[in-house]
Amino acid sequence: MFGAHFRSTRSAPWSLLAGCAVVLCVVTACVTAPAPPDPASPVATRLTALLVGTLVNVDGCLRVTDHESGTSYLLVWLPEQHTVTAEGNTLHIVDHLRGDRTVVWYTGQTVRLGGGVAAGESLDEPVRRSLPAHCPGPYWVVGDVGF
């Protein structure tokens, strides 16, 4: 009698564990997968490489000359992210992704900006058309001006 009782209590924890595993499998099988993101709700993204250089105006082309490589990049501003106005040697940049915060830069100033290099053909057609024809690349697509 004692031996039979011992065997049944010894197997009871394993039975309980097996029962819990079955219940857990049934419960997780009933859980629905999360809904995919809504394409109508776009997420703002930015290029994040860092460019540190001198802001220059060369024949009406706003460029930054990289302090490390000496490369002079034409700045490409995406209209959904920034509105830029120039007055003399002053540049007013409204950052739409940061609550329309305004940043002021001056030609000749060292600036730090996020973004990335892009080939001209990789730019959206409206962005390409907005670039002055006499301003050659290489192109720096401006991401963040808040550094």
User: 101-106 and 110-118 as β-strands: parallel, antiparallel, unpaired?
Assistant: unpaired
Residue 100 CA: distances (Å) to CA of 114, 115, 128: 17, 18, 24
Q: What is the pLDDT of residues 20-38, one digit of tens each?
A: 555 554 544 555 555 565 5
Helix, strand or coil, per DSSP, at residue 10: helix
Asked if residue 62 belongs to a domain, the reply is: yes
Q: Which residue has the tokens 């197997």?
A: 11
3-state helix/strand/coil string of 36-63: CCCCCCCCCCCCCEEEEEEEEEECCEEE
Q: What is the pLDDT of residues 76-118, one digit of tens each?
A: 999 999 999 999 999 999 999 889 999 999 999 999 999 999 9
Asked if residue 90 belongs to a domain, the reply is: yes
Asked if residue 58 belongs to a domain, the reply is: yes
Domain of residue 110 covers 49-142
Asked if residue 12 belongs to a domain, the reply is: no
pTM for the model stands at 0.68
